[in-house]
């Protein structure tokens, strides 16, 4: 049933207008991010900025272009004083009656999304760069400006990139942008400098003047007085008498009368209340609010904050898919390309149509890739993926194939094997992987989830893949 404005309510939280469906989110419980991919755009109905921020972050940080590139609009038309959210939404509405006004924008964005091709790079950095430039392309943004942002772990946010990381891992954004610049995707222009903790790379630092001896910030400052007639120099307390507010010289007992005439204050003296050390020059220390490390300012990691502009190469890469960088990971031995995997899957489905056997397709997904990859370099990342493949390969038959859907999702076939046994094998693999990760990385948790889908000859390969990965926590 369409209302007079042409809006048709399809479901409780879905409306349709001009052939486009809009998913309306008005409560956190409503949001299963995966639902977004089945609609053309998303409308957030809420006044609470935290709620809006959370929804926007969840959508834009998803690693499927079907989700993170979807247009987002805010209903109620409230003014949002969050620069990051403002950069990540596509418009606002005062009420649903105005939906027709956003239709051209939705059309434009979806049309530009349809121009894009995506690759399945194994490199995490390449995947992030691809996401960044494809978003810039759909929004027709040429420049990526850093936004001073209080919720950013490095004090500046590059919206579509920063949302992929927790505050503690946000420094990786700068490394990814450096790679993109080296690859000629961006040109840069200096904007500012930010200082990061030497231990955890957080930019949330508390700068304090501290005692050079014990590092305490608990000190008091006194003026130094120089009494001209006798040359006595000491803190003002030496000159105070117990009777009145006058100042008397402790050396010659003369009363101090007139600053500049019989005395002056040539400097100040600080006294540490912790260790009683007297000093003139404070040390400046920066306490990290994330890991509590008290850095001396010389130890801090100074990073340039730059404004980035897409180059011609960048624009082409956005459309054609970002294929490779020097940091990219070559194909890992024992795996096939994702396209090849899909073709083989297609043949297996065709074979099943005729033989009615039982084959399965499985997936192993790293739940926290941005945390993991921001802590390890690309070399270690490559080693990690190789090890994972090695473990999987040694637990499946040689006729089964393994592929990377993305840097965090591995898919594999288990043909001619009962579904239950596939589940058991996969669980065993996950247990081995967990042990391997615990041994390899002391201070880092690598979390996995997995799924097995039995092949159904009535469904397409893409649908199988979709079934397999749709519930993964992105």
Partner 1 sequence: MIEELIDNYVRFLSSLTLDHFIRLFWFYIFFEFVRYFALEWFVLNLWKIRKHYNKDKYAMAREQFLFENPLVSIIIPGKNEGKHIYKLIKSLNEQTYKNTEILVIDDGSDDDTPTIGRDLQRAGLIDLFIRNEIRGGKASAANFGLRFTKGKYIVHLDADCSYDRDAIEKIIIPFYMEKDVGGVGGNVNVRNYDTGLVTSLQAIEYYDTISIGRVVTSHLGIYRIISGAFGAFRADVLDKVKGWDIGPGLDGDITVKIRKLGYKIRFAQDAMCLTNAPDTFKKLTKQRLRWDKSLIRFRIRKHKDVLYPNQSFRFANFISFVENITYNLILNVKWYVYLSDMLINYPSLIVNIFITNILLYTVTNFVKFTIYSLYRERSHAPMSYFLLYIPCMVFYFGFYLRIVRSIAYLQETFFKLSYNDPWNPKKTSVHAKKLKI
- Considering only 68-76, 263-271, 329-337, 368-376, which stretch makes contact with partner 1 by CB under 8 A? 263-271
Chosen residue from 20, 118, 151, 232 binding partner 1 by CB under 8 A: 232
The tokens describing 288, both together, are 């990290």
Q: Is 280 in the site for partner 1 (CB under 8 A)?
A: yes
H helices of 196-250, in order, are 236-239
Give the shortest CB-193-to-partner 1 separation in angstroms: 23
Q: How many residues bind partner 1 (CB under 8 A)?
A: 22
- Considering only 107-115, 184-192, 257-265, 394-402, which stretch makes contact with partner 1 by CB under 8 A? 257-265
Q: How, if at all, do strands 294-296 and 301-310 pair?
A: unpaired
Give the shortest CB-134-to-partner 1 separation in angstroms: 50
Tokens 């399965």 locate to 360
Radius of gyration of the chain (CA): 31
Q: What is the DSSP letter of 79?
A: P
Chosen residue from 34, 222, 262, 271 binding partner 1 by CB under 8 A: 262
Q: Is 278 in the site for partner 1 (CB under 8 A)?
A: yes
CA distance 360 to 455: 5
Q: How far is CA 116 from the centre of its chain?
A: 23
Q: Is 466 in the site for partner 1 (CB under 8 A)?
A: no
The tokens describing 126, both together, are 């390449």
Q: Which of 175, 205, 121 is nearest to 408 (CA)?
A: 121
Q: Is 240 in the site for partner 1 (CB under 8 A)?
A: no
- Considering only 94-102, 194-202, 228-236, 341-349, which stretch makes contact with partner 1 by CB under 8 A? 228-236
Q: Is 236 in the site for partner 1 (CB under 8 A)?
A: no
- Do residues 393 and 385 lie in contact, with contact meaning Cβ atoms separated by under 8 Å? no
- Considering only 111-119, 277-285, 338-346, 407-415, which stretch makes contact with partner 1 by CB under 8 A? 277-285
Chosen residue from 14, 96, 103, 233 binding partner 1 by CB under 8 A: 233
Complex with partner 1: residue 277 or 390, whichever CB lies closer: 277
Q: Is 281 in the site for partner 1 (CB under 8 A)?
A: yes
Own/partner contacts of 151-155, CB < 8 Å, gap of 24 or more, are 151/84, 152/84, 152/203, 153/201, 153/202, 153/203, 153/204, 153/290, 154/194, 154/196, 154/201, 154/202, 154/203, 154/303, 155/194, 155/203, 155/204
Give the shortest CB-277-to-partner 1 separation in angstroms: 10
- Do residues 141 and 147 lie in contact, with contact meaning Cβ atoms separated by under 8 Å? no
In the stretch 167-206, what mask flags binding to partner 1 with x, by CB under 8 A? ----------------------------------------
Q: Is 457 in the site for partner 1 (CB under 8 A)?
A: no
Burial of 22 (C-beta count, 10 Å sphere; 0-12/13-18/19+): buried
Give the shortest CB-229-to-partner 1 separation in angstroms: 4
3-state SS class at 405: coil
Q: Is 279 in the site for partner 1 (CB under 8 A)?
A: yes
Q: Is 346 in the site for partner 1 (CB under 8 A)?
A: no
At residue 34's C-alpha, the angle toward residues 30 and 35, to 5°, is 55
- Considering only 23-31, 40-48, 232-240, 436-444, which stretch makes contact with partner 1 by CB under 8 A? 232-240
- Considering only 2-10, 91-99, 264-272, 315-323, which stretch makes contact with partner 1 by CB under 8 A? 264-272
Q: Is 267 in the site for partner 1 (CB under 8 A)?
A: yes
Chosen residue from 91, 234, 321, 418 binding partner 1 by CB under 8 A: 234
- Considering only 98-106, 143-151, 227-235, 317-325, which stretch makes contact with partner 1 by CB under 8 A? 227-235
How many Cβ atoms sit within 10 Å of the Cβ of residue 310?
22
Chosen residue from 226, 307, 390, 450 binding partner 1 by CB under 8 A: 226
Complex with partner 1: residue 20 or 232, whichever CB lies closer: 232
Give the shortest CB-26-to-partner 1 separation in angstroms: 59
Give the shortest CB-85-to-partner 1 separation in angstroms: 45
Tokens 């507010």 locate to 245
Q: Is 253 in the site for partner 1 (CB under 8 A)?
A: no
CA distance 448 to 466: 18
Burial of 426 (C-beta count, 10 Å sphere; 0-12/13-18/19+): buried
Q: Which of 269, 267, 279, 268 is nearest to 211 (CA)?
A: 279
3-state SS class at 317: helix
Chosen residue from 20, 51, 118, 228 binding partner 1 by CB under 8 A: 228
How many Cβ atoms sit within 10 Å of the Cβ of residue 368?
17
- Considering only 54-62, 91-99, 137-145, 255-263, which stretch makes contact with partner 1 by CB under 8 A? 255-263
Partnered with residue 17 across adjacent β-strands are 20
Binding stretches for partner 1 (CB under 8 A): 224, 226, 228-234, 250-251, 260-262, 264-267, 278-281
């Amino acid at each position: 049933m369409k209302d007079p404005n042409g809006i048709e309510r399809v479901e409780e939280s879905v409306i349709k207008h001009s052939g486009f469906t809009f998913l309306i989110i008005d409560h956190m419980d409503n949001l299963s991010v995966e639902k977004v991919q089945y609609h053309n755009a998303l409308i957030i109905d809420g006044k609470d900025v935290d709620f809006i921020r959370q929804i926007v972050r969840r959508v834009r940080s998803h690693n499927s272009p079907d989700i993170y590139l979807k247009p987002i609009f805010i209903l109620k038309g409230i003014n949002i004083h969050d620069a990051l959210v403002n950069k990540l939404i596509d418009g606002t509405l005062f009420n649903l009656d105005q939906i027709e006004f956003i239709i051209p924008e939705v059309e434009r964005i979806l049309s530009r999304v349809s121009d894009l091709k995506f690759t399945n790079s194994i490199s995490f950095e390449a995947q992030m760069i691809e996401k960044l430039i494809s978003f810039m392309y759909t929004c027709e943004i040429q420049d990526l400006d850093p936004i001073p942002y209080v919720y950013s772990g490095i004090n500046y946010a590059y919206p579509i990139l920063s949302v992929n990381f927790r505050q503690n891992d946000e420094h990786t954004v700068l490394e990814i942008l450096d790679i993109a610049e080296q690859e000629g995707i961006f040109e840069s222009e200096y904007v500012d400098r930010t200082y990061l903790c030497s231990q955890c790379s957080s930019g949330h630092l508390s700068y304090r003047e501290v005692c050079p001896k014990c590092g305490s910030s608990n000190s008091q400052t006194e003026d130094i007085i120089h009494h001209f007639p006798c040359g006595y120099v000491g803190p003002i307390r030496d000159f105070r008498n117990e009777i009145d507010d006058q100042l008397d010289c402790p050396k010659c007992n003369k009363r101090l009368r007139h600053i500049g005439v019989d005395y002056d204050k040539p400097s100040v003296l600080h006294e540490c209340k912790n260790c009683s050390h007297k000093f003139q020059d404070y040390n400046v220390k920066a306490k990290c609010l994330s890991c509590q490390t008290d850095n001396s300012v010389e130890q801090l990691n100074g990073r340039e904050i730059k404004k980035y502009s897409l180059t011609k190469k960048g624009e082409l890469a956005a459309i054609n898919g970002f294929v490779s960088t020097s940091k990219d990971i070559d194909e890992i031995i024992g795996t096939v390309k994702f396209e090849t995997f899909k073709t083989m899957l297609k043949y297996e489905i065709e074979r099943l149509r005729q033989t009615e056997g039982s084959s399965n397709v499985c997936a192993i997904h790293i739940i926290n890739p941005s945390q993991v990859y921001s802590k390890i370099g690309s070399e270690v990342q490559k080693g990690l993926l190789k090890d994972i493949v090695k473990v999987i390969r040694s637990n499946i038959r040689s006729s089964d194939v393994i592929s990377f859907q993305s840097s965090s999702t591995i898919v594999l076939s288990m043909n001619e094997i009962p579904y239950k046994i596939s589940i058991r094998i996969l669980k065993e693999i996950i247990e081995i992987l967990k042990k391997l990760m615990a041994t390899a990385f002391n201070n880092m948790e690598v979390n996995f989830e997995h799924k097995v889908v039995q092949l159904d000859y009535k469904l397409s390969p893409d649908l199988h893949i979709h079934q397999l990965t749709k519930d993964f926590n992105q």
